[in-house]
Amino acid sequence: MTDLRRLSALELGQLLADCKLSLVDIQNTAANDTLNAFITRVPFPTAPMEGTSPLAGVPMAYKDNICTKDLPTTCGSKLLADFLPAYDATVVERLAAAGAVSLGKLNMDEFAMGSSGETSYFGPTKNPWDPARSPGGSSGGSAAAVAVRQVWYALGTDTGGSVRQPAAYCGVTGLKPSYGRVSRYGLVAHASSLDQIGPIAPTAADCAAVLDLISGNDPRDATSLDLPPIGTLSGDLRGRRIGLPVECFTEAVDVEVAAAVMEAAQVLKARGAKMEQCSIPELRHAAAAYYVLSSAEASSNLARFSGPRYPSRTEGFGSEVKRRIMLGTFVLSAEGYEDYYREAQRTREALCHAFAAAFERYDLLLTPTTPTTAPLLGLTSEECRSCDLYTVPANLAGLPALSMPCGFDGHGLPVGAQLMGPALGDDLVLSAAHGYQLETTWHRNIPEGGGAL
């Protein structure tokens, strides 16, 4: 019998649609939660699900900062440990209408503030390739669950790389859509000008299918856009111009990571892309601007979380969240506003202009997703920040960006390559990644000993 864990979400959906597979068969294959990927589980359904989408009946789950009616939405925090939303997020409504089989809510860094999966009140998630290592954050539970096929796709959120970085560390594909493509209604906000909900799945084609189900205008989110669907990906790269920013291939990048990404560049070239080194100096300042702006927005968003349970917010928040609230409060104060917040906004504007200029010359940019493979658990805040160096620029500029598996290092840990495209160029990013995955099998690899039954 076919090992279901090696199938993509779309392949599994096709077997279900053709009645060659039942949900009982999938339940008997799905992995146990030895990685602490879930915060809340729901019973596995056995009756066929209604829906005509290509993913109808395929098991999935939501990051636990996406509101689900009458199902706990904790944001990985003690403060919201018993919070039951009275409504579903728009993305939950849309997937339910498409026949999604949700298995529950996935572990995450508290209020999506963290890059290692360790700040959750419910304990850290473990990396499926090495339980002593980080799965990434803040959507670590989402990436880990997909990697071992506890679910075949998941929704995460990406504020500074929180979909792409865990996808890289766990050896799966993760997409941050263009800002505005997916409604944020029902998302517990981290930094509202940076947040996007995005899919994590085995393949780029899976991510495209999920994106088409969850995207579209929503009157409850004024930033959401009405855009045409992605549809079927061609994978055609002939004539595409892809830039490799030298700022993302410095000595900060592990040698094996850089080599794997350059090999990915050769695969893209073999499919017809024109590869060229380029320079975007503004990338060097993106991380500093990001941490100022995201902390400022987070401190403002979290100001609403207080009340009779925790008269002081210090009782309910973990140390990383409190650190970012304090930083954000300072940069918005009279003392810090001009020197930090305004300067960070200027840096963001300069970065947006630099990307606009780059995409006049190039269709896509290729970088490592992260400077290294998955680090050991126990990262300091400073070490966590270094994990996000190459992911935060896309959030600051509102661009689509995707991480795809492109190899392994000497420790057997997956390496991720990142493709970035122009604003609303999600189709370009997904099609290029699909073309790459037509030529490679890195996305077919499954962690051994990942808890599978």
d(CA 152, CA 13): 10
pLDDT in tens, 21-73: 988 889 877 767 799 999 999 998 877 777 889 999 999 999 999 999 999 99
Question: Which domains does the chain carry?
Answer: 4-444 (3.90.1300.10)
63 classed as catalytic? yes
By C-alpha distance, which of 431, 354, 387, 405 is closest to 201? 405
pTM (2 d.p.): 0.96
Instruction: Identify whether the C-beta of residue 418 lies closer than 8 Å to the C-beta of residue 402.
Output: yes
Q: Name the DSSP class of 177.
A: P
- What local confidence, expressed as pLDDT, does residue 335 receive? 87
* Catalytic annotation, pick one of 8, 53, 63, 178: 63
- What local confidence, expressed as pLDDT, does residue 33 receive? 79
- What local confidence, expressed as pLDDT, does residue 450 receive? 47
* Catalytic annotation, pick one of 8, 115, 116, 138: 138
> CA gyration radius for the chain?
20
pLDDT at 451 over 50: no
| 255-402-192 Cα angle (round to 5) | 115
pLDDT in tens, 121-140: 999 999 999 999 999 999 99
If you write DSSP's letter for every residue of 195-234 in order, what string do you get? Answer: -EEEEEESSHHHHHHHHHHHBS-BTTBTT--------S--
d(CA 202, CA 57): 16
Least confident of 201-205, 311-315, 329-333, 354-358: 311-315
193 classed as catalytic? no
d(CA 236, CA 175): 19
Instruction: Identify whether the C-beta of residue 67 lies closer than 8 Å to the C-beta of residue 111.
Output: no
Q: Give strand pairing partners of 403.
A: 174, 418
Q: What is the mean pLDDT of the chain?
A: 94
- What local confidence, expressed as pLDDT, does residue 308 receive? 54
Cα 82 to chain centroid distance, Å, stands at 25
Relative to beta strand 59-63, strand 38-41 is unpaired
* Catalytic annotation, pick one of 102, 162, 178, 295: 162
Share of the chain above pLDDT 70, in %: 96
CA atoms in the 13 A half-sphere facing the CB of 252 = 18
105 classed as catalytic? no
pLDDT at 198 over 90: yes
End-to-end Cα, the chain, rounded Å: 15
Residues in the chain: 453
pLDDT in tens, 229-282: 999 999 999 999 999 999 999 999 999 999 999 999 999 999 999 999 999 999
Work out whether the CA dihedral 231, 233, 239, 241 comes out positive or negative.
positive
